[in-house]
Structure 1
Amino acid sequence: MKNKIRPILSMGTVLLSFMLTTLFPSCNDELPADSYYTFTGEMMSDFLKNHEDFSQFRRIVERAGRMDLLASRGARTLFPPVNSGVEDFLKERGYTSVEDIPASFCDTLVKACLVERMLYTYNLSETHQESNQLDLPVIIVTDGDTVDANGMTLSVINRRAAIINELKNDSVENGVVHPVDKVIVP
């Protein structure tokens, strides 16, 4: 009797194994190439790299060691100065180039123009206040008294830097960018 059960159990095991492999196939780790996800959005760091008019400020960010922060996820607002604004700042402070600015001051300059929430100009009141990464006030005044060459009202930050109307409210994956005409200093 035992001799008859053993072949039946062996055959049953083989049959069960066959059924399991046909009914429940194993996972296939090879996906078609078009199934892979590649992030293609522009982060703040990419914005600075992709727009030549911000090359001077990009160098300030690099010297501060903050490019990784601008490449990270989040919901921030950045007020980067255009190259002419950085050149004016260098002249004001007596620097010949961005390389002459101490790295610690570069870090301060980056933090001064970065707010940890998204701000669009069309949502701002006539006078709006936020705190930058230095926990200092960023006061944005849009009262109609200051206009650009096209007669459009300017938003002025801390009575120093004006948001460039043609470039404002530029959405990136980790926030919004408002290019300004001057360096925002604490």
Structure 2
Amino acid sequence: MQLLDELRTHRLLAIVRGPDPAAALASVLTLASCGVALIEVSLSGADALAVIRRARAALGPHFALGAGTVLTAADAHAAADAGATFLVTPALAPSVAEAGRVGLPVLVGALTPSEVVQATSAGATAVKLFPASAGGPAYLSALREPFPGTPFVPVGGVDAAGAAEYLRRGAVAVGVGSPLDRKSDGKGKRVML
């Protein structure tokens, strides 16, 4: 899988997580059926590896299905075994080096310039600017000055209006979670799709 090409082409990485594995799987399948081509299932969700396995079986071997919140070497191996085609980390973690060993591209979380340097030196396919809401689109512009060739994917607090602004300021894609995979039940309660 050419993760960077996929990010540049589709510009959206949907992030699914939650306490209900059946709802998470339904969200993945709904997003895919609506044309979302890059989906990450966060390992912080309940039974996330099973969700990845079932989604892989339903979507086929070529769908860009990733595992997020991959922190340890064991997480990287488990995600690869479950059928993930890419990994996502919230920060520099042991899983970054392990991604190369299991042969998967990795989107590495970073916020500061020092972390951006470390992420790219560690082999990041792209840098997940996280949490993007900490600095907003202006911060992405500031980072792009010393790192003009670094592909950034802002994640964390990105909504529709923010997504357009991040893309305008040079992000290769944006990662969006709860605005995509949650809706209201009409009584103010948030539920999975």
TM-score, structure 2 length as denominator?
Answer: 0.25
Larger Cα-atom Rg = 1
Q: Which has the higher strand share?
A: 2
Higher RCO, 1 vs 2 (CA within 8 Å, ≥6 residues apart): 1
